[in-house]
Amino acid sequence: MAIRPLVFFPDPRLRLPAVPVTAFDDTLRRLAEDLLHTVRAAPGIGITAPHVGELVRLVVLNLGSGDPVRMLANPRVLAVSGDLVSHTEGSISMPGIAEEVERPAQVRVAYQDLDGAAQEITADGLLGVCLQHEIDQLDGIFWLQRLSRLKRDRAVKRFAKLQVR
């Protein structure tokens, strides 16, 4: 198991859709474990394979506080609630930058576990936000795209200043 190098904004790979996982084997399990070690080292609470340059639909969530580690292959949103919630979001591919993002308060997601078995989860709160955030990333939607143009431009400028130091 290894900590993999991260892909950082504005790398164009962060805006490419990931392809479905088709092989549920030891290679996938190794990638999932590497993602877990990488998100812990970042530090962060969620990571996708594209964050380390692998364009496959794999998410690892490590929310902490007694919450189990979740490894989801091929996740997709089935339904969202009409209620909205704001939550501070950021990305391990853009460390030091965070903004309020508005998303549906609850989400229902279908996915496969690392053995390929079909699963479903309904989530709200931090888990619901993280699932939507990471599925966006797999769809090639970097979290900044969920911000107004003004907030996005300010976040990009702040990140550029952080990189100069």
94, 8 in Cβ contact below 8 A?
A: yes
SS3 119: strand
Which residues belong to the active site? 134
Backbone angles phi, psi at 76, to 5 degrees: -150, 145
**Alpha carbon distance 6, 51 (integer Å):** 6
- In the numeric block, the tokens 């496959």 are attached to 56
Cα atoms found within 13 Å of the Cα of residue 32, Cβ hemisphere only? 24
Amino acid (1-letter code) at residue 12: P
* Cβ neighbours of residue 123 closer than 8 Å, sequence gap 6 or more: 106, 107, 109, 131
